[in-house]
Amino acid sequence: MNSESARLDSRSSQLPEVETDVLIVGAGVSRLSFAAMLAALDIKLFAIAKHSGTAPAPRAHVTNQRTMEIFRDMGIEELIQAAGTCMPEIGNMAMATSLTGMEIGRYSCYGGGDHQLTDFAKASPSKMWNTPQNNMEPILLHRAREKGADIRFYHELVDIQQSDEGVVARVRERTSQGEYIVRARYAVGG
């Protein structure tokens, strides 16, 4: 144990503790996907996010074919599709002088247009999808929890130290300001 870990251990000896294999810090699309995949493999994980819940408004929205294949493997591709729109149906990009100004040009993209549809279909059985983050995160959260993930919102990372044995993190629950310790073999995010 290094001196930094020893210092965190001495400060935290009176705090409640959680032990897990993996600590995930953050709960956006990437980390919720990771949590769902780990939980499906029966890997014990504990995830925290400083926000009060999933994204309240649209953020990222374009999901590529390979990610949709992963969602298919996870058994949630149809749920993700139901929450969004197929990108080839959107498939045109317009350039204009302003939002309501003169159109300068237009081209097909995201697998739209006959020339791209064939190439995209050869590349993958899945299509690119437009599912806003605020629609996708609840699906991923539900799948992760359904598979056994412990995910807590409004909990923030205060400190984290790494040693040969793993990581020791101090976490604060933001409503009560109560703190606790998470001991994990690995940590992801931050």
Give domain status of residue 15, yes or no: yes
pTM of the model: 0.84
Give domain status of residue 54, yes or no: yes
E strand or H helix at 93: strand 92-96
Give domain status of residue 120, yes or no: no
Strands laid side by side in the 17-25 sheet: 150-153, 45-49, 17-25, 179-189, 166-173, 155-163
Q: Specify the pLDDT at position 89.
A: 72
Q: Specify the pLDDT at position 70.
A: 96
Give domain status of residue 83, yes or no: no
Over the chain (190 residues), the average pLDDT of each successive run of 10 is: 52 84 98 98 98 94 93 97 85 88 87 72 88 97 98 98 96 98 96
Give domain status of residue 96, yes or no: no
Give domain status of residue 119, yes or no: no
Give the structural domain span for 139. Answer: 1-60+132-190
E strand or H helix at 69: helix 65-74
Total domains in the chain come to 1
Task: Report the CATH number at residue 36.
Answer: 3.50.50.60
Q: Specify the pLDDT at position 4.
A: 52
Contact 153, 55 (CB under 8 A): no
Give domain status of residue 50, yes or no: yes
**Helix, strand, coil % over all residues of the chain, rounded to 5:** 35, 35, 30
Give domain status of residue 11, yes or no: yes
Q: Which residues contact 10 (CB under 8 A, 6 or more apart)?
A: none
